[in-house]
Amino acid sequence: MARVVLEVRNVTKRFGGLVAVNDMSFDVTEHEVLGIIGPNGSGKSTMINMISGTFPPSAGMIRLNGQDVAGKPAHRIAQMGVARTFQLVRLLPELSVIENVVAGAAFGHRRRWKAEAERYAESLLERVGLGAVMTVPVSSLTYINTKRVELARALACEPEVLLLDEWLAGLNPTELQTGIELIRSLREEGRTVILVEHVMDAIRSLCDRCVVMSSGTKIAEGTPADVLSDAEVIRAYLGADEDA
Amino acid sequence: MSTRDIRNLILSALAFGVVALLPFYDTGYILSIATTMAMFTVLATSWALFSGPTHYISLATAAFFGLGTFVTGYGFQTMPYWSLPLIAAVLGAGLAGLVGMVTLRLSGVYFVIFTLGLAELVRQLVTWVQNRTGQRGMYVLTSITESHIYWQLLGMAALVFLVGWLIGRSRLGFALRIIGNDETVAKHSGINTALAKVLLFMVSGAAAATVGAMLAPRYIYIEPSTAFAPLLSFQVVIMALLGGTGRLWGPLAGVIPFTLLWEFISRHAPNQTLLLLGLAFLLIVYVLPGGVVGLQARLKRRFGQGGH
Ligand SMILES: Nc1ncnc2c1ncn2[C@@H]1O[C@H](COP(=O)(O)OP(=O)(O)OP(=O)(O)O)[C@@H](O)[C@H]1O
Ligand SMILES: [Mg+2]
């Protein structure tokens, strides 16, 4: 049996009267790529935000390697081994590309500093295909390259779990192929990843398992092929006017 | 340390050595202006250590400064003189820590208002204590001369530059730059943002309180309304922004011209000093965003010089 890295149990998040996440439970095992899918507004980002500590759950339990993380401040959770990217890319505009990645290495799960951090950041930039633009200002990067920098920064924490919130969104068809290849290579390295995605091709080819959310509730869980042919899932997507 | 660091260190030490000789040349008007400059150099540089990277505008300088002057006012007869700046530093850091813990969670605007109110709050507290003990102001009569104050401030300036340089190379300094860019990213990268901000705020609070303690003998008579005057906080902000907070030497580049102008105007048109403050502010906003540091960086880019 593979080791469970992340346990989510009966997690609920209320914003005033709105229940954004409703009694969600799932596990992520080591080396697994878990997809979280669902129509717009179904609570996927809210789930990611609770796991990474942006805000605490209203109820429920989240455990990383057996340790309680629910309600801990984001920086503690990052140090314990959760790294993430953001649905809307967030780079550090006044810092160089390499400094953006060192930012992930210097304070995260495995801390590195000075020459060691820089070497590590360089190797990660090479890894995500950015060897050539290490010294340019962040403002001159193309869209996919900003996403790559953000990914390298998250990887620089050497996380136990990597959370990617629609990392592939907004890429054009050729970029999308490159992006999918990149994430596939992470998967082949044996990383543990939670992937929030709308792109069905990516879900089919990258995820070991999927959790489907609709209006904050888990409506299906299983292999991509199984959940994508599930009647309730199709209804949820069609009902929300999404192309499945 | 790189060779450039060593060169800068030697040059700075030489510069400090040269300006330290000033009291042997003049102990009158020039020394008095130089003392004011030294005072604002410490205040603006330490202010920028915190506000530069975090972009939090603090108007609390007067609160820490006033606290420091009253430490000397109350302590100079009973305690060894050398201990007063140290006590002021500890109290200043303590007050900054306390205020930082409550306010640094607030966003920018609320922080500005709160720090402005802080000077008034501390002033009221001191006034209240004085009323209970039946005092109004107090005389600080010592044998400390202007030259002594000047040298103390120079020493303090050297210390602030050294601390700033060390912070700039440290993880704490890097953490602050990240916080200034995007606090959410900072948190999710593992930075305890509240702690980092409070620590730096304590450094600048300690420095301002120390300066107040050192300057008290210069004023001879101190009372709450002058010791906690909010004007000081505004002057420090304007000078630091005029010079630019992107570099350690930036505030100094604002302090020198501003102090000279201020001096000139208060001699020839004493009612127009506030106008100068306003004009300097407009200049920063419209002509010199990033201050002298920003201008220098732009010129360098335009004429394509190498190096830094
Ligand atoms: N910070 C917040 N405060 C109040 N409501 C919020 C907050 N964050 C999310 N919501 C609400 O919670 C619900 C779920 O939002 P969430 O962003 O988690 O959806 P999502 O599945 O990520 O959607 P998308 O696919 O569009 O990114 C939405 O109705 C949203 O308006
Ligand atoms: Mg989302």
d(CA B299, CA A41): 48
In a domain, B100, yes or no: yes
If you average pLDDT over residues A161-178, what whole number do you get? 92
Reply yes or no on whether the pLDDT at B5 is more than 90: no
pLDDT at position A240 is 53
Chain B residue with the nearest C-alpha to that of A49 = B188
Is the pLDDT assigned to residue B179 strictly greater than 80? yes
How many structural domains comprise chain A?
2
Check residue B284 and give its pLDDT.
Answer: 80
> By the CB < 8 Å criterion, does A107 face chain B?
yes
Give the tens place of pLDDT for each residue, A110-141.
889 988 999 999 999 998 988 888 888 898 99
| Residue B133 φ then ψ, to 5° | -95, 5
> Is A196 a domain residue?
yes
Name every protein residue with a CB atom under 6 angstroms from any ligand 1 atom.
Answer: A 15, 18, 20, 38, 40-46, 87
Nearest to B92 by CA among B139, B160, B35: B160
* Helix, strand, or coil (residue B136): coil
Q: Tell me which of B1, B169, B178, B189 to substitute to probe the interface with A (most A C-beta atoms closer than 10 Å).
A: B189
Among protein residues, the one with the nearest Cα to ligand 1's atom 31 is A41
DSSP output for chain A:
-PPEEEEEEEEEEEETTEEEEEEEEEEEETT-EEEEE-STTSSHHHHHHHHHTSS--SEEEEEETTEE-TTS-HHHHHHHTEEE--SS----TTSBHHHHHHHHHHHSSS---HHHHHHHHHHHHHHTT-GGGTTSBGGG--HHHHHHHHHHHHHHT--SEEEEESTTTT--HHHHHHHHHHHHHHHHTT--EEEE---HHHHHHH-SEEEEEETTEEEEEE-HHHHHT-HHHHHHHHHTT---
Query: Which residue of A75, A135, A151 to mutate against B (max B Cβ within 10 Å)?
Result: A75
The pLDDT assigned to B308 comes to: 44
- Is pLDDT larger for residue A190 or for residue B277? A190
Which CATH number characterizes residue A13's domain? Answer: 3.40.50.300
- Mean pLDDT across the stretch A168-185? 91
Q: How confident is the model at residue B198, as a pLDDT? A: 93
Residue of B nearest to A82 (CA): B188
pLDDT in tens, B121-177: 988 998 888 888 877 778 888 888 889 999 999 999 999 999 999 999 999 999 999
User: Residue A244: is its pLDDT beyond 60?
Assistant: no
Supply φ then ψ for residue A59, to 5 degrees: -160, 160
Interface touch B188/A54, C-beta < 8 Å: yes
Asked if B188 is an interface residue toward chain A (Cβ–Cβ < 8 A), one would say yes
Q: Which residue lies with its CA nearest to atom 2 of ligand 1?
A: A15
Contact assessment for residue A25 and residue A10, using Cβ atoms and an 8 Å cutoff = yes
Of B171, B175, B185, the CB nearest to A90: B185
**Would the pLDDT of B90 be above 60?**
yes
- Give the model's pLDDT for residue B192: 95
> Would the ipTM clear 0.95, i.e. be above it?
no
Looking at the fold, whether A119 and A230 belong to one and the same domain comes out as no
- Give the pLDDT confidence score for residue B304 in this predicted structure: 63
Asked which of A139, A156, A173 is the last residue of a domain, the reply is A156
Q: Is A222 left (phi over 0), alpha (psi -120 to 50) or beta?
A: left
B276 falls in which pLDDT band (50, 70, 90)?
A: confident
pLDDT band at B293 (very low <50, low <70, confident <90, very high): confident
Interface size between A and B, measured as CB pairs under 8 A: 69
Residues of the domain holding A13? 4-81+160-238
Q: What is the pLDDT of residue A242?
A: 45
B244 CB contacts (<8 Å, ≥6 apart)? B250, B251, B253, B254, B288, B290, B291, B292, B293, B294, B295
Query: Is B244 within the bounds of a domain?
Result: no
How do residues B194-208 score in pLDDT, each as one tens digit?
999 999 999 999 999
Residues A68 and A123 occupy one common structural domain? no
Report pLDDT digits (tens) over B20-41: 888 898 888 999 999 999 999 9
Q: Does the pLDDT at position A10 exceed 80? A: yes
**Is there a domain that residue A244 lies in?**
no
Domain that includes residue B97, residue range: 3-229
Band the pLDDT of A243: cuts 50, 70, 90: very low
Residues in contact with B203: Cβ distance below 8 Å, sequence separation at least 6, in sequence order: B46, B49, B50, B93, B163, B167
Residue B85 domain-assigned?
yes
For chain B, percent of residues with pLDDT exceeding 90: 49
Q: Which residues surround ligand 2, an ion (CB under 5 A)?
A: A 44-45, 87
pLDDT of residue B307: 44
Q: What is the pTM (predicted TM-score) of this model?
A: 0.88
Query: Which has the closest alpha carbon to A64: A46, A43, A85, A50?
Result: A50
- For residue B85, is pLDDT > 90? yes
Burial per residue of B29-42, b for 16 or more beta-carbon CB atoms within 10 angstroms, e otherwise: eebbebbbbbbbbb
Q: How far apart are CA B273 and CA B256, in angstroms?
A: 16
Domain boundary among A134, A156, A178: A156
Ligand 1 pocket mutation, candidates A45, A164, A166, A199, criterion most atoms within 8 A of CB:
A45
The 10s digit of each residue's pLDDT in A58-76 is 999 999 999 999 989 999 9
Looking at the complex, report in whole angstroms how far the Cα of residue A187 sits from the nearest Cα belonging to chain B: 22
Q: Which residue has the higher pLDDT, B8 or A45?
A: A45
Number of structural domains chain B divides into: 1
Do residues A134 and A170 both lie within one domain? no
pLDDT score for A229: 85
Contact across the interface for A75 and B191, Cβ inside 8 Å: yes
| pLDDT digit string, tens, across residues A222-235 | 999 998 888 888 88
Query: Domain for residue B43, yes or no?
Result: yes
**pLDDT mean over A140-149:** 93
Looking at A21-35, A186-200, B262-276, which range is the least confident one? B262-276
- Asked if pLDDT for residue B300 goes beyond 50, the answer is yes
Do A140 and A168 share a domain, yes or no? no
Considering A123, A139, A156, which residue would you say is the last residue of a domain? A156
Give me chain B's average pLDDT, please.
89
Same structural domain for residues A27 and A117? Answer: no
Query: Nearest chain A Cα to B179, which residue?
Result: A92
Are A149 and A164 in the same domain?
no
B170 in A contact zone (CB under 8 Å):
no
**Is residue B144, in this structure, part of any structural domain at all?**
yes
Same domain assignment for residues A61 and A109: no
Helix/strand/coil for B222: strand
Q: Which helix (H) or strand (E) holds B110?
A: helix B108-132
Portion of chain B with pLDDT greater than 70, in percent: 98
Q: Is A243 exposed, middle or buried (0-12, 13-18, 19+ CB in 10 A)?
A: exposed
- What pLDDT, on a 0 to 100 scale, did the predictor assign at position B133? 82
Let me know if residue A243 belongs to a domain.
no
Mean pLDDT is lowest, of A51-55, B96-100, B141-145, for B141-145
Query: Do A63 and A129 fall within a single domain?
Result: no
Please give the pLDDT value at position B234.
93
